């Protein structure tokens, strides 16, 4: 694997503040990143931070895009050999942000393009987390599942237990630029990636959690509330500030349900600012089924077909016993075993939020 440090080739405007919110996308995800940036502009009327979108080609920016967003063309072409699977190589671009903006921004709040900012919170995050850690990240949903008893036997997560590290999600990251440059973080990360390419099972998230685990502080789950079947019913209780649409269900491709309820908002925005960008919605089952077919588990075609059949059966059963299905909701909630599991799940989230609030109050 070879790499060179990326640099800004073009910028639509200079830096104005010492802090920034940043998104890194390829051209396909530019409309969704611009949507998030537009949300922040509306909800944070008085800002002391810039909003930056890094992408490979600023020529794709529509003339009518928000003037208050800084678009930067960054050359990442020299990065080769990092595993991406079905993802875009842009998934790794975030780790270079502190280097790219080392002379401009002291704090950088990175956001994935598949988040939804439900309320004013960016200034709060920047102001309340100025400790000496290099990064601040929220607990990953798979770690919550493990702690709650949903997923005891997870070989991937077990490696982090040995490190005494709580596995974090890379969809929202607060970078402390000075601290990361101080420890020469990029050299550490690129050296590890070069020698352990086969271990990067979750791409940039594996890289960050493995190499910089001692430098990661706790960000509240409320600022990276990862939406899955078991977290959506708890929305009213926790009132998160930033939703994260993890998995194959996105607000721009999903029909019906909670995630599908955002589709019209995205459709309106994209029609206004990106009229040539086409979006289309499908059912949750269709999206999950397509994703499963792409993730081939077995080389043997018969075994793979049987596995897909099991997947379809489980999805149908899940629909019948769904926590969101009004006809069966009471039966599910009144099941003692399910009640205990949901209680542990809720308490695990609550504990992670409490620990972050206590930590922030000490700063």
- Structural domain spans, the chain: 8-227
On whether the CB atoms of residues 141 and 169 are closer than 8 A, the answer is: yes
| The pLDDT value given to residue 26 | 86
C-alpha closest to that of 141 among 119, 113, 172: 172
CA 313 from chain center: how many Å? 29
| The pLDDT value given to residue 349 | 85
pLDDT in single tens digits along all 363 residues of the chain: 445 677 888 888 899 999 999 999 988 899 999 999 999 999 998 899 999 999 887 666 765 556 789 999 887 765 655 655 555 567 778 888 999 999 999 999 999 999 999 989 999 999 987 777 899 999 999 888 887 776 655 677 777 776 778 889 999 999 999 999 999 998 888 888 777 766 676 778 888 988 898 899 999 999 999 998 888 888 988 999 999 999 888 999 888 889 999 999 999 999 988 888 888 877 766 666 666 666 666 677 776 676 666 656 656 555 544 444 444 445 545 556 556 667 777 888 888 887 776 555 554
The pLDDT tens digits of the residues spanning 99-142 come to: 999 999 999 999 999 999 998 999 999 998 777 789 999 999 98
User: Is residue 41 packed enough to be buried (19+ CB in 10 Å), middle (13-18) or exposed (0-12)?
Assistant: middle
Q: The CATH number of 8-227 is which of 3.90.550.10, 3.30.70.270, 3.40.1160.10, 3.40.50.300? A: 3.90.550.10
| The pLDDT value given to residue 134 | 93
| The pLDDT value given to residue 36 | 96
On whether the CB atoms of residues 34 and 67 are closer than 8 A, the answer is: no
pTM summary value? 0.83
| The pLDDT value given to residue 347 | 84
What does the alpha-carbon distance between residue 122 and residue 44 come to, in Å, rounded to a whole number?
8
C-alpha closest to that of 49 among 116, 129, 112, 123: 123
On whether the CB atoms of residues 127 and 40 are closer than 8 A, the answer is: no
| The pLDDT value given to residue 323 | 47
For all residues of the chain together, what is the average pLDDT? 80
Q: By three-state DSSP, how is residue 205 classified? A: helix
| The pLDDT value given to residue 314 | 59
What does the alpha-carbon distance between residue 217 and residue 166 come to, in Å, rounded to a whole number?
10
What does the alpha-carbon distance between residue 198 and residue 157 come to, in Å, rounded to a whole number?
16
């Amino acid at each position: 694997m070879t790499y060179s440090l990326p640099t800004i080739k073009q910028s639509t405007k200079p830096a104005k503040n010492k802090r920034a919110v940043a998104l890194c996308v390829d051209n396909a995800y530019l409309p969704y990143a611009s949507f998030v940036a537009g949300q922040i502009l509306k909800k944070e009327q008085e800002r002391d931070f810039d909003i930056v979108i890094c992408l490979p080609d600023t020529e794709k920016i529509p003339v009518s895009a928000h003037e208050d967003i800084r678009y930067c063309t960054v050359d990442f072409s020299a990065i080769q050999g990092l595993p991406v699977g079905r993802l875009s190589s842009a998934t790794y671009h975030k780790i270079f942000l502190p280097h790219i903006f080392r002379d401009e921004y002291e704090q950088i709040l990175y956001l994935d393009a598949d988040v939804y900012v439900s309320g004013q919170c960016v200034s709060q995050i920047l102001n309340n987390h100025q400790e000496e850690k290099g990064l601040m990240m929220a607990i990953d949903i798979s770690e919550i599942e493990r702690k709650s008893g949903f997923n005891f036997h997870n070989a991937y997560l077990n490696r982090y237990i040995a490190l005494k590290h709580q596995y974090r999600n890379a969809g929202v990251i607060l970078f402390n630029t000075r601290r990361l440059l101080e420890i020469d973080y990029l050299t550490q990360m690129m050296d590890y990636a070069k020698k352990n390419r086969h271990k990067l099972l979750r791409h940039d998230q594996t890289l960050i959690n493995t190499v910089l685990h001692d430098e990661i502080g706790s960000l509240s789950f409320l600022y990276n509330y990862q939406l899955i079947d078991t977290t959506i019913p708890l929305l009213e209780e926790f009132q998160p500030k930033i939703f994260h649409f993890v998995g194959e269900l996105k607000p721009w491709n999903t029909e019906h349900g909670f995630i599908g309820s955002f589709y019209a908002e995205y459709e309106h925005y994209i029609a206004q600012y990106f009229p040539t960008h086409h979006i289309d919605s499908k059912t949750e089952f269709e999206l999950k089924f397509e994703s499963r077919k792409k993730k081939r588990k077995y080389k043997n075609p018969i075994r793979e077909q049987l596995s897909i059949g099991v997947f379809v059966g489980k999805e149908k059963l899940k629909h019948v016993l769904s926590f969101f299905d009004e006809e069966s909701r009471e039966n599910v909630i009144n099941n003692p075993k399910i009640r205990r599991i949901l209680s542990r799940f809720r308490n695990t989230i609550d504990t992670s939020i409490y620990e972050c609030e206590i930590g922030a109050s000490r700063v």
